Every structure is written in structure tokens, then in C-alpha cells.
């Protein structure tokens, strides 16, 4: 029982670390998108000072932060509990269990 509790707490720590890294990456992406939108708006308003500040200062800094966060995330993927993508194998497994897929294989006619 104690071993299971220890294993659970270790997995929970890994999960929390992966979740915070993922949320951090998503936060940086949101900031980067907002900065790009602000740069386009500054360009339309002929506010070249703000545009250049964003283009040559804030946006490159955010891109660098994002690259570092992605690199850090890749290093931590040994105990991968959270994922943002579904693999082909997982899709195939779900479809193989699905009644809908077998219906399609039989030209839309169900065998009863």
C-alpha cells in the first residue's frame, strides 16, 4: 500500500511539472500572437516607434522564450504523461473497437 502511494505521488509530481510546462508554452504562444496583432495594428496606425519596438524587441524575445520552453519540454519527456497530439496508432485502436468503423467497411450495411 505504501509503495502504491509513493508511486502515485511521484506520478502526480511528474504530471504537475508537465502540466505547468505545457501551460507556460501556451501562455508564451498567446503573448506572441498578441504582440504580432499589436504590431500589425501599430503599422496600420503609422506608429513606427511601437511597431519597431514590437518587431525588434518584444517579438524576438518571446520567440526565444518559446524555443527555450520547447527545448525544456523535450528534455522532460522521459515520463510523458501529458500530450497535445494523438498518434496514428491510438486512432487506429479506437477505430478498430468502433462499431461505426465496421459499418463503413461493410458498405454501410450492418450485419445483424
* Residues 33-70: tens digit of each pLDDT: 999 999 999 999 999 999 999 999 999 999 998 888 88
User: Is residue 110's pLDDT more than 60?
Assistant: no
User: Whose CA is closest to 17, among 86, 77, 70?
Assistant: 77
Buried b / exposed e along 19-57 (16+ C-beta atoms within 10 A): eebeeebeebeebbeebeebbeebeeeeeeeebebbbee
Cα 64–chain centre separation:
17
What confidence tier does 112 reach under pLDDT thresholds 50, 70, 90?
A: very low
What confidence tier does 3 reach under pLDDT thresholds 50, 70, 90?
A: confident
**Stronger pLDDT, 6 or 34, i.e. the higher one:** 34
Q: Check residue 72 and give its pLDDT.
A: 74
Q: Convert the pLDDT of each residue in 92-104 to its tens digit.
A: 888 787 766 555 5
User: Residue 68's CB: how many other CB atoms inside 10 A?
Assistant: 12
pTM, two decimals, is 0.54
Amino acid at each position: 500500500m505504501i509503495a502504491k502511494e509513493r508511486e502515485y505521488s511521484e506520478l502526480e509530481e511528474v504530471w504537475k511539472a508537465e502540466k505547468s510546462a505545457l501551460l507556460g508554452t501556451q501562455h508564451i504562444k498567446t503573448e506572441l500572437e498578441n504582440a504580432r496583432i499589436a504590431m500589425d495594428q501599430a503599422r496600420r496606425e503609422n506608429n513606427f516607434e511601437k511597431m519597431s519596438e514590437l518587431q525588434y524587441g518584444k517579438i524576438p524575445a518571446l520567440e526565444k522564450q518559446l524555443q527555450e520552453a520547447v527545448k525544456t519540454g523535450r528534455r522532460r519527456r522521459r515520463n510523458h504523461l501529458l500530450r497535445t497530439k494523438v498518434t496514428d496508432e491510438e486512432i487506429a485502436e479506437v477505430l478498430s473497437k468502433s462499431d461505426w468503423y465496421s459499418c463503413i467497411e461493410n458498405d454501410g450495411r450492418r450485419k445483424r
